[in-house]
Amino acid sequence: MNIKKILIGLTAALLLIGCGVEEVKVDGPKRKLEGHVITEEPKAFTIFGIFLGKAFDGELPVYQKAFEMTNVKLVGTASKNQSEEVQAFNLMISSGLIPDIIAYELTDELEKLGIDGGLIPLENLIDEYAPNIKKFWEENPRYKKDAIAADGHIYMIPNYNDYFNLSCSQGYYIRKDWLKKLGLEEPKTVDELYTVLKAFKEQDPNGNGKKDEVPLFLRANINRKVMMALTDIFKAQFVWYEKDGKPVFGPAEPEYKNAMINLAKWYKEGLIDQEVFTRGLSSRDYMLSNNLGGFTNDWFASTGSYNEKLKDVIPGFDFSVLLPPEYNGNKKTATARPTYMGGWGISYKAKDPVTIIKYFDFWYSEEGRRLWNFGIEGDTYTLVDGKPQFTDKVLKNPEGKNALAVIRETGAQYRLGMFQDAENEKQWASDVTVRDMDEYMKNDAIQEPMPVLKYTKAEIRELLKIESQLRNVTEEMAQIWLLGVSDVEKDWDGYIERLNDIGLQRSKEIQQTAYDRFMKED
């Protein structure tokens, strides 16, 4: 078995060394090097990218406009039939068909690829040819730290969130019309929330004469996301997080055990959707449109739109934000957005990295940032007093599409390696949603997340092996405990022993080393 694995690894390595995607050509006139034009002769570069199940399409308006402005075109290599990003990435690497540019959500693996030689270091290219990126990092040193790998090189430009202007991503929502109907106050503690959810279950707030209400529902497509939202109620976490200056593994902490005991009780009493692991991404729309769901944790901008959508369907419908209920003195939620998600880099197969880095830099110019954030001028936005404002095509779409869907149809906000401007989200979100997000930030209701840590080549290889097993066990046991198949108190000691056998303590050592390295002063 070990010999077989070695042979497979060697084969993949040979493919990586020897192969590349065939160079593509693009027709077009010779251009003067003025404005944002990067190259006199038009050039095309291949790129791997999949975002939200969609392969990168260089024919979308935003990238056609970028070609018009820079004379550089991108050609996607992922098949339109490929929707699973991780699977497609692994297939690309093992096949050796490496494009010029690689964009990927899992940046630890992207940086590992760089450390292995699959991506080239970018820091010298940026110093010489990318003044916009260089200026952005000088003005935002934390963002630059996010781009530096454990070996000191920069292999990828992150796709940044505008974290310091909009740190919140998700919030708690509750049917306030149901509270009013049942004569209940907004719950300010988890104990009060429990009382409210019990009333939702037993007192027929939707008034149809049936006990069909689902007090707590969630919209999630994987077990991990279900558990992240549920454990947050009891101030526990399902991921690694910082505690007293140390990274800790959430599912092995006492707070998590306590959370699972309480959540299993809530599930048994019917307070949590009995199909919470299988309902999927359609859960929110189903629960709200059918007047069934009472409480959830979900994205502000999209969840806040339901009052407008359902005001004429369900009389008095009021699904509004609620500050995180207090538990043991803690009033915060851990559902914050990270400083970045995903990124892109230049592969060792690229024959013209200078032009590519100049193209990356274009997206950090004022015009490039606006193009990626807001789409096409005159179509999805117009300039008002020099500032982009979304058009009615986005905000009041005649076909009833939500604003973000309309924006993304242009190719804007496709996760590559750009900077997400908080202003675009605040514009397409409703005034109420913007107020709600501001309310969370004003009340200091968001727990700052642990930085996305960086690992050496040896660390990431060891960590990935341990982490995959830890995830399998924790997700398996969380589901068993929540559904009442087994008992967390009875299982806990054996569960912790199982995690330690997998390598939890070694994983903690690696995480602490990476954490200390990241937090060290420059």
- Do 298 and 219 meet the contact criterion of CB atoms below 8 Å apart? yes
pLDDT band at 478 (very low <50, low <70, confident <90, very high): very high
What is the rounded average pLDDT of the residues 116-137?
97
| Per-residue pLDDT at 504 exceeds 50 | yes
* pLDDT (0 to 100) of residue 379: 97
The end-to-end CA distance of the chain, in Å, is 45
DSSP-based three-state secondary structure for 472: helix
Q: For 321, phi and psi rounded to 5 degrees?
A: -70, 150
Residue 79 burial by CB count (10 A; 0-12/13-18/19+): exposed, middle or buried? exposed
Cα angle 265-271-274, degrees, rounded to a multiple of 5: 95
pLDDT, tens digit (0-9, with 9 covering 90-100), for 85-99:
989 999 999 999 999
pLDDT, tens digit (0-9, with 9 covering 90-100), for 264-286:
999 999 999 999 999 998 999 99
Q: What is the pTM of this model?
A: 0.81
Cα angle 162-165-166, degrees, rounded to a multiple of 5: 75
CA nearest neighbour of 129 among 413, 352, 372: 352
pLDDT band at 432 (very low <50, low <70, confident <90, very high): confident
Q: Enter the tokens of residue 193.
A: 């929330």
| Per-residue pLDDT at 6 exceeds 80 | no
Instruction: Provide the percentage of residues in the chain whose pLDDT is more than 70.
Output: 96
Q: Cα–Cα distance between 394 and 375 in angstroms, integer?
A: 10
Radius of gyration of the chain measured on its C-alpha atoms: 25
What is the rounded average pLDDT of the residues 250-262?
98
* pLDDT (0 to 100) of residue 425: 82
* pLDDT (0 to 100) of residue 37: 96
Long-range contacts of 492-495 (CB under 8 A, 24+ apart): 492/257
H or E stretch at 295: strand 293-299
